Amino acid sequence: MLLEEQRKKVIKTALKAQNMGLILLTFGNFSLRDPRTGYVCITPSGMDYQDIQPQDIVVIDTSGKIIEGARKPSVETPLHCHIYQKRPDVFGICHTHSTFATAWASCEESMPVIVAELAALVGGSVDTAPYRPIGSVELAEVTAKVLADKAAVFMGNHGLVAVGANLDQAFNNAVIVEESAKITFYAKKLGKMKVISESECEAINRWAGEKYGQK
C-alpha cells in the first residue's frame, strides 16, 4: 500500500479532531503532503471516521488526480490542492467545523489576538474568506488567497482551515484557534478587549519559534 503510515496518520488526526469536538459526524477533512513523493493523503468523502481504514484514505497529487485509492476523495479536495500549490511550506491541512471558530467565520470580520498562545503558535489575527459554495474551485481560490502566508483562515459561514509544516502542527493550530475564538467571544461579552499589537504578536511568535518545545 502506497504511503501506509501517512494514511494512518491522517486517520489518527481525524479521530483526534472528532474526539475533541472540532468536527461532528463526517464533517471536516484532513490531509498531509508526503515530502518525499509530493503526493497528498486525504480523507474520503462522507465516511464515518470511526470506520475509516488506511485503504480508504485517498492518495492524490496536488492537481487532484487520484494516484491510489478506490474511494472518492473529500469534496474539499480542490481546497487542499490549491493551498498545497500556493504554499510550498505547508505539509498538513485541517479543515474543521468547530463551534466558536465557525461562529467567527459567520461574522465577516477578523478575529483579533487577545490570547498570547494564538500569537505564539498561529502568529496573528485570523481573517475570514468570503462565502463560496462548498467544494467549489471558487471556495478553494478565495480561501487560499485570504490565507496568504498565515497559519489559519476562517471560511465564511463554513468553518476553519489550519495549516502547518506537518499535520501535527496544523492540528495544533486548529485547536488553538478554536480555543482563542471561545475566549475572545467571552471577553467581548465581559467588556472591552485588550488586543495584543501586531508588533507584539510578531515578537511572541518569534520567541516561540526559538524557545518553545524540544529542539
Catalytic residue (choose from 76, 117, 179, 200): 76
Q: Which of 52, 46, 45 lies closest to 13, judged by CA?
A: 52
Cβ–Cβ contacts within 10 Å for residue 166, how many? 15
Euclidean distance between CA atoms 157 and 104, whole angstroms:
9
Residue 35, amino acid: P
DSSP assignment of 158-182: TEEEEEESSHHHHHHHHHHHHHHHH
What cell numbers appear for 45 in the block?
Answer: 468523502
Give catalytic status of residue 76 as yes or no. yes
Decide the pairing of beta strands 152-155 and 128-129.
parallel
Q: Which residue is associated with the grid cell 526559538?
A: 210
Q: List phi, psi (to 5°) of 11.
A: -60, -45
In the beta sheet, which residues pair with residue 60? 40, 66
What contacts 24+ positions apart, CB below 8 Å, involve 50-54?
50/15, 50/18, 52/11, 52/14, 53/11, 54/1, 54/4, 54/7, 54/8, 54/11
List, by residue number, the catalytic residues. 76
